[in-house]
Structure 1
Amino acid sequence: MISKMPKGAVIVNAFWRGGDAGAEKLSAVLSLLGITAPVLKSTDLSLYVSEGVQGEIPFDFAVYLDKDDHFARLLEARGVRLFNSAESIRLADDKMLTHIALAPYVRQPKTISSPLFFAGEEDPAFLDRVEQELSYPIVVKKCFGAFGKQVYLAKDRNSLVSLRSQLIKEPHIYQQFIPCDSSDIRVITIGGKAVAAMKRKAASPDEFRANAELGGTGEAIALTPALRTVAESASRALGLEYAGVDLLWDEKGYLVTEVNSNAHYKLIEEVTGVPVASLYANYILSELTKGENA
């Protein structure tokens, strides 16, 4: 028998206003397993640094659906077991850190990091080098963003210069465009194992981003050995216990473009029939009760 069922929480961003039922559903599924884990905003808790990290925490673990790795580290410093860890969230949330961490393990589109801007004048030679390495169109992404809303396409030098002037004070990257008929692939991994896959299609032929939040649609696809291997390698390399791995493809195979630490699962559940929330909740329970005799 399990001696004592742990108490938990599902943590969402302080500015979260709803619109996705994923947090509430995960809380409900955990409840069916006998685990109390209400949805809380990070501002529902008071944590601070003084003599060590201080603050009362009314739970033992948290499913962390935020991307605020500072607050995640405060929770870990107070002994809270996080799904995912603060470090894995940091690596996944910063797109350039993601690419660097994945470099030894999976194929990725050629990616160039913008130099960090402090002050001074722009060096046009940098864009010359970007053009030499990457042919148009060129994908330009903020390092921190979600739902495809901070991803742009430069079709020529004028648009590249315009995007750079907009983004120069923010961390961002320049990336090889991989033509995949306005589609990509999303694979969900839990505990480092691929459990579901779908092909996403952009809302129109003129839109290169296939995110569901931008009107993209999904269809179930098979988890082939090749697809499984790449997605699992990516999630494990980042230390993510739950991940959404986004991939494109070319004649050589799959390329990882992004890895999401708090990927929404509503669409992939609908199109594949895979109960992602239930699988994740059962994984969490198994991790929390390791060593207990059922």
Structure 2
Amino acid sequence: MNKIGWIIYNGNLPGNKFLDFAQMLHEAAKEQNTKTYIMQNNNLLSSLSTNRLELLTEYEVPDFVIFTDKDIYLARQLELIGIPVFNRSEVIETSDDKIATYQVLANHNLPIPRTIIAPKVYTNREEKYLPNLDHVINQLGLPMIVKEAFGSFGEQVYLIHTKDELEEKVKELYGKAFMFQEFIQSSKGRDLRLQVVGDRVVAAMKRFSTEDFRANITSGGIMEAYEPSEKAKEIAISASKAIGADFSGVDLLFGENDDYIICEINSNAHIRNLYDCTGINAANEIVEHILKKLRDSRG
């Protein structure tokens, strides 16, 4: 019997890019003779009681789920009731939290910018106790990056040039999780996006901007197809595997002497720009990988 899957996206977010990703996966599954349904997360309610976990839905539960959202609780609920989820909730949770991501990467001895985690603050109070900013500057230098732990599309990332700017930004972010990070000058306004599926890089593009230190397309960056080196591929695959992802978009910065530095790992990276840029539809590779993994799990 052919398996039936759900492709879950966030139904509360504006715009069509989130639905578009789900539709690309849905069409790829259809081409591989697999039936899927596109579902909004807000139509699926998780129910808990002393001796029962269930999903409140009028639909029959699927054999597997491709999860394109960051609703970690829903992803975990699906796993707890026995449904394979791609990517797993633990992967989504780690990827969504950039501090947690860097900790995992550092533990795997993978190249990341030098990073200092801001101390945890529980409330945004009028009287603010700041970390030793002189010590941070001595360690990382100026300019430096201040990056919030949670954010998307290159937002919540700030380039800081002076101590006064740094103090102002720390006060502004008081109560949020964030980090101080070395600014990779050699990669200013340019980076690489590598789409990893399983043990392979299936597509890649270079992004660059002449107007912004970030190269994200949503920040005005320009994209072009790119053939990454074996070293870049190896780092991207290792990064994806380190967080346990079945598929991910890995962003690499250009370091000195042809080195690469991991900027981010996106467990649910949108693939439309990558397709428009390279002509490669990563959805086909993602679905093929998932179906093979499901077949292998049956023995």
> Into which bin does the TM-score normalised by the smaller protein fall?
over 0.9
Could you tell me whether the CA contact under 8 Å between 2:130 and 2:170 is conserved in 1? Answer: no
Aligned mates of 1:240, 1:194 — CA distance in 2: 13
By relative contact order (CA 8 Å, sep 6+), the higher-ranking structure is 1
Count of matched residue positions in the alignment of Structure 1 and Structure 2: 288
Secondary structure, in 3 states, of the residue corresponding to 1:59? Answer: coil
* Cα offset, 1:22, TM superposition: 1.5
Q: Are 1:134 and 2:140 counterparts?
A: yes
1:56-67 superposed matches below 5 A = 56=56, 58-67=61-70
Aligned mates of 2:200, 2:6 — CA distance in 1: 24
Partner residue, 1:201: 208
* Cα offset, 1:26, TM superposition: 1.0
Aligned mates of 2:16, 2:184 — CA distance in 1: 31
Could you tell me whether the CA contact under 8 Å between 2:142 and 2:162 is conserved in 1? Answer: yes
Secondary structure, in 3 states, of the residue corresponding to 2:195? Answer: strand
Aligned mates of 1:288, 1:161 — CA distance in 2: 51
Q: Deviations over 1:204-240 (max 9, x none)?
A: x331111112221211111311011100100000000
* Cα offset, 1:247, TM superposition: 0.8
Q: After the TM superposition, which of the residue ranges 279-288 and 15-24 deviates more from structure 2?
A: 15-24
RMSD, aligned CA: 1.8
Aligned mates of 1:267, 1:54 — CA distance in 2: 36
Q: Partner amino acid for 2:156?
A: Q
Alignment match of 2:181 (pick from 171, 175, 178): 175
* Cα offset, 1:292, TM superposition: 6.9
* Cα offset, 1:255, TM superposition: 0.5
5+ residue gaps, structure 2, are none
Q: 4+ runs of 1 displaced by more than 4 Å? A: none
* Cα offset, 1:124, TM superposition: 4.0
TM-score, with structure 2 as normaliser: 0.91
Q: Deviations over 1:61-104 (max 9, x none)?
A: 11111112122111111111111001111111100100000012
Could you tell me whether the CA contact under 8 Å between 1:198 and 1:272 is conserved in 2? Answer: yes
TM-score, with structure 1 as normaliser: 0.92
- Aligned CA distance change for structure 1 residues 72 and 270 (closer, same or farther; 3 Å): same
Partner residue, 1:265: 271
Secondary structure, in 3 states, of the residue corresponding to 1:197? Answer: strand
Aligned mates of 2:54, 2:85 — CA distance in 1: 17
Partner residue, 1:43: 42
Aligned mates of 1:10, 1:169 — CA distance in 2: 34
Alignment match of 2:120 (pick from 106, 116, 120): 116
Alignment match of 1:219 (pick from 197, 213, 224): 224
Alignment match of 1:186 (pick from 193, 205, 217): 193
5+ residue gaps, structure 1, are none
Q: Are 1:242 and 2:239 counterparts?
A: no
Secondary structure, in 3 states, of the residue corresponding to 2:85? Answer: strand
Could you tell me whether the CA contact under 8 Å between 2:271 and 2:281 is conserved in 1? Answer: no
Q: Give the percent of matched residue pairs that are identical in Structure 1 and Structure 2.
A: 33
